[in-house]
Amino acid sequence: MPPWQTEEKSTVEKVLIIIILSFIIVTAAVGNLLVFIAVVIDRSLHRDTYFLIASLAVADLLCAVLSMPFAVHIALYGQWVFGAVYCRIWIASDVVLCFASILHLCPIALDRYLWSFMVCWVPFFSANFAEAVNETDISSLTFVVLTWLGYANSCINPVVYGFYTKPFRRAFRRMFGLIGFYDESGQRRVSRFITDRRFLTATLNRSKVAEILLEYLAAVKEV
């Protein structure tokens, strides 16, 4: 029996599983996407450390989008129904993306927030090691829970490495227009996300896209 095969679940159990796992997936996808965008558009984050965090965000984002949704089906029904070929592809991509995330965490976590990695991934690897060495019988439910505990690390990473870091918080405030800019007279004024000409032009670096959006916003204001 595959290690993920579990007993039939009630409707209530399935609903709870969908809610919890969907929260993990959405949080991981949105959080890591924001971290990646912040590094791309904010020049103050164009440093090696933040590039490494952005690379971690990409790995976690891909894991959330490509691996986790299929793992939800396994957690619900305890079986794979998408064919043998894609099963191999999914397993390979899942392993690659998870290990890519872990390898990113190793240098980042040397001096900060090592606890998130320890809490999320050590139980998973410890259980697999114990089963391989001591032939310990690990239940299917335990295997699924430990797997998703590891996945949860992907939604914790943008919080501890992004939102808890001052430069990232400042970048997020810029992204959503929560800090002010100074006009030509030296007066500080609060910007508005995408409706502020200076903010939009600076963010998009006076690109053609910025010019098109500015023309559109000007036309909207005239209506």
Is residue 166 domain-shared with residue 205, that is, in the same domain?
no
Within this chain, do residues 85 and 142 fall inside the same structural domain, yes or no? yes
Q: What does the alpha-carbon distance between residue 64 and residue 29 come to, in Å, rounded to a whole number?
A: 6
**Domain identity same for 195 and 121:** no
Pick the closest to residue 217 from 203, 201, 205 (CA basis).
Answer: 201
Domain total of the chain: 2
Q: Are residues 204 and 161 in the same domain?
A: no
Q: Do residue 111 and residue 186 come from a single domain?
A: no
Q: Are 167 and 79 contained in the same domain? A: yes
Could you report how far apart the first and last alpha carbons of the chain are, in Å? 65
Per-residue pLDDT for the chain (223 aa), expressed as one digit of tens each?
Answer: 444 555 677 888 889 999 999 999 999 999 999 999 988 888 888 888 888 889 999 999 999 999 999 999 888 888 888 888 988 899 889 889 988 888 888 777 665 557 777 788 888 888 877 777 776 677 788 888 888 988 998 888 888 877 777 888 888 777 776 544 444 444 444 444 444 455 555 555 544 555 555 565 565 555 4
- Residue 129 domain boundaries: 11-173
Q: What DSSP designation does 186 have?
A: S
Could you tell me if 70 and 146 lie in one domain? yes
Give yes or no: residues 117 and 71 share one domain. Answer: yes
- Write down the residue that tokens 């890519």 correspond to: 100
169 shares a domain with 182: no
In terms of domains, do 20 and 105 share one? Answer: yes
Query: How far apart, in whole angstroms, are the C-alpha atoms of residue 60 and residue 76?
Result: 22
Residue with tokens 């009630």: 10
Same domain, 198 and 157: no
Round to whole Å and give the CA distance between 113 and 152.
15
pTM of the model: 0.69
CATH number for the domain that contains residue 18: 1.20.1070.10
Inside any domain, residue 5: no
Q: Which helix (DSSP H) or strand (DSSP E) does residue 81 occupy? A: none
